[in-house]
Amino acid sequence: MPATQPLNARTCPNCDLRLCDSEVADGWCDNCGTRLPRYITEPARMAPCAAPSRPPHRGAGKTTSLLAAGGLLLMAALELGGGLLLYALLTSGRAGGDVPAGFVKVLLALTLAFSVLWAALGVFALFRPRAAALAGLIILVPLTALAVVSNPSLLHLFKVAVIVCLATTRARGEGR
């Protein structure tokens, strides 16, 4: 096809002249008198266009991101508040016994470290809520198991927390 013709222009394959609509409809080239091939005279047969595919669903919507981030930031606040309260009780002498100074420093360091960890996961949840929630669970389950092993009376508290979580998840699922 010559470069001067538009892309949608039809030309005769024998004489390379541009065909008018009547020539295409008749199926003959008026210039050279040859029969035009089917690919010129018949409309192009294309497969029906599929609806444009949406990109795969990359997780939850904004509500789930905010919910996951809020939960993890709440964990950070509870960790920090509980640790600082325990630190205050231990350093004020109200703990009921002699507490080693090294223990108090380790407690404060762990409290701050876990608070920062939960807060970072909360911020990460704004972008990738499922990954952040999964990482939080991977961290929380062994810590809870360690707490239950060290103090079996916490097992009842853990059961109540699981029941409350399951009940709220089910209620939220039915409310849609």
Share of the chain above pLDDT 70, in %: 73
pLDDT greater than 60 at residue 166:
yes
* CA pair distance 19, 9, nearest whole angstrom: 8
Dump pLDDT digits (tens) for 32-84.
Answer: 888 888 888 876 554 455 555 555 555 446 777 888 888 888 888 988 888 88
**Cβ atoms of residues 169 and 133 within 8 Å:** no
pLDDT of residue 116: 92
The pLDDT of residue 48 is 54
CA 90 to chain centre: 42
pLDDT in tens, 87-145: 888 788 776 667 777 888 888 888 898 889 889 988 988 888 888 888 888 888 888 78
**pLDDT score at 175:** 44
**Nearest 10 degrees: Cα torsion 102, 103, 104, 109:** 90
pLDDT tens digits, one per residue of 3-31 = 444 445 678 888 888 888 888 888 888 88
Classify residue 28 by its DSSP letter. Answer: B
Convert 71-85 to b/e letters by CB count within 10 Å (16 or more is b): bbbebbeebbeebee
CB atoms within 10 A of CB 38: 8
pTM of the model: 0.52
